[in-house]
Amino acid sequence: MLKNSKPISISKLITKISHQRIENSRNVLFLNLLVYALIAGAELTIGAADHSTALIADGQNNLTGIVSVIALIVGLTFSKRPSDDFHLEGHWQFESLAVFLAGLGMFLVGLVCVWEGITRTLALFDGNYTAPLKGQAAYMAAISGISMLTLCWFNHFIAQKTQSSSLAASARDFLSDALTSTGTMLAIIGASWFGIHWIDPVAALLLGCFIIWNGCQILSTSAEKLSNGFSPQLRSEIIEKILTVSGVLDVMFVDGRYSGNNIIIEAEITLANDDSLAKSYRICKSIEQILQASLPVLYCCIQVKPAPKSASSHPQAIVWKPL
């Protein structure tokens, strides 16, 4: 067993940028938490008083937003912790785990909304009508929709700027919330103003299905990262970048995996048979530097394969300068 092993050579610049991104994301998430709490509380209160199944379903959906935001804040907080003996690469995966749990919570609440909509719809067929709806539920749904759409744009803007997967998931959540609130408003107007009683429970059923779909999208994206999935298109782009480095004759293999929002690259390259160990090391570091210039690469694990002696010589390799 190895004792007193040295830490992995992780880019300090990428680590610093990631920590700043996490801090900015946490600040935005605290704002999201406040808005979610106010909107969800108002919708559940008015929905219960107004006998609106759709508005209550929308409020329950926003409750999942509270749980999701709390999970993301906790995940981002843990992901900032430095590496230790059990997590040599750091704790970045806590962010992906938090996004996965947020999607799971959204999926489960969607199931509850679907069940509620089904039972209320069946009750209507049996002649059990709920108390008449009031117009104030529609106003509350409109306020919720406008608020959620505004926060969707804000979270999307910050996510694009900081490349934050947490804020990207939050923006998607806000978009679904804005759409569900709009659908809720239309359902309440149809039930309260035109006396079409079946619109409200059916809308709750449809909104529940949409919540389930959106939760599955978040689950799929985060599960890909947690299961070491990697985009073939991004892999091809990385191969093209590696081949631009002077001294690299061929790329035999490239794979990547996510550690939170950061990437770890594994590759096997072919170099000239007569390259020295020091020169091969400089070429590997040049590859790492080029990749880190455009991608959040923590570090590269590169295996060198010597080319056959008949391979042609190549120009001088790019000299690597530490970040």
CATH of the domain at 299: 3.30.70.1350
Question: Based on the domain organization, do 195 and 296 belong to the same domain?
Answer: no
Residue 128's pLDDT band (cuts 50, 70, 90)? low
Are 245 and 173 in a shared domain? no
**23 is a domain residue:** yes
Q: Specify whether the CB–CB gap between 181 and 141 falls below 8 A.
A: yes
- Phi/psi for 129 (5° steps) reads -90, 145
Which tokens sit at 299?
């570090």
Averaged pLDDT score across all residues of the chain = 80
Q: Which of 226, 260, 281 is the last residue of a domain?
A: 226
**Nearest-CA neighbor of 202 among 57, 59, 60, 105?**
57
List pLDDT tens digits, range 248-276.
999 998 999 888 888 889 999 999 988 88
Same structural domain for residues 163 and 258? Answer: no
Confidence band of 242 (pLDDT split at 50, 70, 90): very high
Residue 323 lies in a domain: no
Question: Is residue 50 located within the same domain as residue 193?
Answer: yes
Last residue in a domain, options 178, 208, 226: 226
Same structural domain for residues 179 and 275? no
Domain identity same for 149 and 18? yes
pLDDT on residue 315: 46
250 shares a domain with 212: no
Q: Give the tens place of pLDDT for each residue, 40-78.
A: 888 888 888 877 776 787 787 788 788 888 888 888 888
Task: Provide mean pLDDT across the span 96-102.
Answer: 86
Is residue 204 located within the same domain as residue 265? no
Q: How far apart are CA 241 and CA 203, in angstroms?
A: 50
**Residue 283 in domain:** yes
Name the pLDDT band for 79 (thresholds 50, 70, 90).
confident
Is 84 a member of any domain? yes
Comparing 72-81, 97-106, 177-186, 308-317, the range with the smallest average pLDDT is: 308-317
The size of the chain, in residues, is: 323
Q: Which of 163, 197, 226 is the last residue of a domain?
A: 226
CATH code for the domain in which residue 68 is found:
1.20.1510.10
From CA 246, how far away is CA 315, in angstroms rounded? 6
Strand-strand pairing, 262-271 and 297-306: parallel
- Whether 77 is covered by a domain: the verdict is yes
The structural domain count of the chain equals 2
Both 25 and 61 in one domain: the answer is yes
Does 313 fall in a domain?
Answer: no
SS3 1: coil
177 with 287, same domain: the answer is: no
Any domain includes 322? no
Q: Tell me which of 181 and 287 has the higher pLDDT.
A: 287
Any domain includes 112? yes
**Within this chain, do residues 301 and 273 fall inside the same structural domain, yes or no?**
yes
Looking at residue 254, its pLDDT comes to: 92
Please tell me whether the overall predicted TM-score, pTM, comes out greater than 0.85 for this model.
no
Structural domain harbouring 117: 12-226
- Cβ atoms of 291 and 256 closer than 8 Å: no
Q: Are 134 and 153 in a shared domain?
A: yes
